[in-house]
Structure 1
Amino acid sequence: MTRCHYHRSLILALSAVAFTAAWMPSDVRPSPRESSASRHSTKWEKKQRWLEKRDMRAGDSDETSKAPFATIIGNGRIGSTLAEAGNCIVLGRDDNIDENGKGPILIATRNDALDGIIEKCPESRKCDLVFLQNGYLNSYLEQKGLLDNTQVLLYLSVTAIGAEAVDGVTAYNPEGLTAATGIHAEAFARRLSHLGLRCNVVDAASFKPAMFEKLMWIAVFMLIGAAKRCKSVGQAGSEHSGLVDELINELSAAVEKREAIQFPEGTVPRLNAYTDVVSDFPAAVKEFTWRNKYFFDLGDEEVPIHNTLLRECREGGLLDFSLE
């Protein structure tokens, strides 16, 4: 049995609950390039307070006070934030991945970098790749033979490198919206917890509708915001709330029909509540192949509002891609 197959068998035996005990291989040592929260005093103080509430101290030598070791690819806003939990090595997208390394490999890059990273990854480490990207990845990952890999729905906004991360905790979902599934989901949740951020560890069946909800949030608020010349997703939600709700309902019905899944109750208020948290985020239709294309390809009969708005954006010169 290979290491990947062993891990996949093990995860099926685990309950899909948040991980509460840290683990780190004894032979793993932090790289000289390891980042720590001490680089940013405000975040360090926040982490210290968080640890104190759990009867720990950030300076403890106990292994349970450390985030599980991880390789992080990408040093942008998300990668830098994840590195602040420490006990990691940060690589560029063109750097080599250690064939003999251990632990999750967190890919914190844009979607267009995935091909190169996967191609350069040693075959024995491909099962450790963790995908954090926005958008619909299932077809892509299936083509790469990586559909069973760990995936994360990252409800996390970081406006600039070093800025305070805005967690996906809302009035409707106080437990947070970030979710992860797969063999490294628990390790990822532990890393976020060391930053005072929340992550729900779920099984694959629960992850699928959650993934489509995140995809709908991006598609709906960005599209309506662009079509109605809104500066932010918050403006789109407040000034066009009726259209937002109508489009969410249209897309959710089409997805349930296409994917044979059922969304949990509260999709509309859940997505609206998240918009309130990140209300200043600019509204623009981007990365069509990974985002709105899934819905556009469902056809005009299934998603007429969505496709009409997309064509209005095209006619208004608001798209930098073709719909054909």
Structure 2
Amino acid sequence: MQVWSDQRPRLEYFEYLEKGAKKLEDDQKSIIVGDGRIGSLLYELGGENDIMVRRGDTIPDEPGPVYLCTRNDSLGEIIEKCPENKKDDLVFIQNGYIEPVLQKYSLPEDVTKANIYFAVTEKGAVPIDGVTEECPDGMTTATGRWSEAFRQRLKKAKTPLKCIVQNKRDYRRSMYDKLIWISAFNLIGSVHGNITMGDVAKRHKKEVKEMVGEMRHMCRASLAVVLFPKLEERLLQYASKVDFFPTALKEFQWRNGYFYNFSQIARENGFDDPTPMHTAYLLEGKEMGLIDWVHER
């Protein structure tokens, strides 16, 4: 009933029909903020005309997209230092739920965002794409003005990386896919001794399916977001593709904290916890000393 009474899906659909397809920009000279693994990759694929900017530096007032390849907690400072006329050129490439930051700084509704499903083990390493049996076209997605430019740039890799350009409505579903993956797999792997993603997928598949299932149900019941089919299978296959990645509980407020806040709000108002397994594992992780952010509101 919560889904039926939520008008957002209907309004987003009519908004999509009314606006029609917007012109998307092609790849061109770009500004890269952050020289880590992802920033260095995009800079390498762009050629010598790109401008590399490090955290704390001012974003130059130059044409083209501004790829933000930094940690989430750096976003506020970067946005504040960004020239006003460049804010609609920002491209957010972060894991986790960053919508509150975008809203806080009143960024344009169609600001470009990307979910990346490829792994770069170290600077200069050949990236491993998230192409799986369930997702032969890859799992990386992007939306917004510079989404096509991002797709074209990834295609320039020695082994071309795949990227699907989506409308805002479908991208929102993809964003929750990735949020669930990075939250559930890291949490399960951490409480089992910081094992790898591959070990989580192979040895703890039952736990994965249960936790992902309750998160998927929460998205539908509480947020009116119906995720794409075969979520558990898709996420398990991707974890097997990047099986060497270690698990860890990081950036809590942007990842697991999102689901934990919903659990807190539900209990405070007399409702059942929508993600009880997730909450139980978090509290176990707290007892193990893996995180110290979890606390009662």
Q: Give the TM-score normalised by structure 2.
A: 0.86
Aligned residues between the structures: 267
Partner of 1:27: none
Name the amino acid aligned to 1:305: M
Please tell me whether the aligned partners of residues 72 and 89 of structure 1 are also in contact (alpha carbons under 8 angstroms): yes
User: In 1, distance between residues paired with 2:285 and 2:163?
Assistant: 35
Q: Of residues 149, 158, 180 in structure 1, which corresponds to 2:142? A: 180
Q: Of residues 281, 293, 296 in structure 2, which corresponds to 1:321? A: 293
Partner of 2:60: 98
State which drifts further: 138-147 or 74-83: 138-147
Unaligned runs of 5+ in 1: 1-8, 24-66
Name the amino acid aligned to 2:94: Q
Q: Does 1:227 align with 2:234?
A: no
Name the amino acid aligned to 2:287: E
Please tell me whether the aligned partners of residues 68 and 190 of structure 1 are also in contact (alpha carbons under 8 angstroms): no
Q: Of residues 40, 48, 56 in structure 2, which corresponds to 1:80? A: 40
CA-to-partner distance for each residue in 1:150-173, whole Å, 9 max, x for gaps? 100011211111111111111210
User: In 2, distance between residues paired with 1:298 and 1:94?
Assistant: 33
Q: Does 1:133 align with 2:105?
A: no
Partner of 2:209: 245
Q: Does 1:305 align with 2:277?
A: yes
Partner of 1:44: none
- SS, match of residue 298 in structure 1: helix
CA-to-partner distance for each residue in 1:281-316, whole Å, 9 max, x for gaps? 111111101000111112162110000000001111
Q: Within 5 A, what are the aligned runs for 1:11-90?
A: 12-14=19-21, 23=26, 67-85=27-45, 86=47, 87-90=49-52
User: In 1, distance between residues paired with 2:230 and 2:294?
Assistant: 34
Q: Detail structure 1 runs of 4+ shifted over 4 Å in the superposition.
A: none
Identical pairs, percent: 39
Please tell me whether the aligned partners of residues 230 and 236 of structure 1 are also in contact (alpha carbons under 8 angstroms): no
Name the amino acid aligned to 2:36: G
Name the amino acid aligned to 1:301: D
Deviation at 1:148, TM superposition (A): 3.0
Q: Does 1:108 align with 2:83?
A: no
Q: Which has the larger radius of gyration?
A: 1
State which drifts further: 299-308 or 117-126: 299-308
CA-to-partner distance for each residue in 1:92-115, whole Å, 9 max, x for gaps? 12222222x111100001111111
- SS, match of residue 130 in structure 1: strand
- SS, match of residue 67 in structure 2: strand
- SS, match of residue 262 in structure 2: coil
Please tell me whether the aligned partners of residues 76 and 101 of structure 2 are also in contact (alpha carbons under 8 angstroms): no
Please tell me whether the aligned partners of residues 77 and 161 of structure 1 are also in contact (alpha carbons under 8 angstroms): yes
Deviation at 1:278, TM superposition (A): 0.5
Deviation at 1:323, TM superposition (A): 3.0
User: In 2, distance between residues paired with 1:155 and 1:163?
Assistant: 15
CA-to-partner distance for each residue in 1:27-69, whole Å, 9 max, x for gaps? xxxxxxxxxxxxxxxxxxxxxxxxxxxxxxxxxxxxxxxx422
Deviation at 1:320, TM superposition (A): 4.2
Partner of 2:226: 262
Partner of 1:274: 238
- SS, match of residue 245 in structure 2: coil
Partner of 2:249: 285
Name the amino acid aligned to 1:120: K
Please tell me whether the aligned partners of residues 72 and 98 of structure 2 are also in contact (alpha carbons under 8 angstroms): no
Please tell me whether the aligned partners of residues 282 and 294 of structure 2 are also in contact (alpha carbons under 8 angstroms): no
Name the amino acid aligned to 1:182: G
Deviation at 1:14, TM superposition (A): 2.3
User: In 1, distance between residues paired with 2:259 and 2:171?
Assistant: 19
- SS, match of residue 289 in structure 1: helix
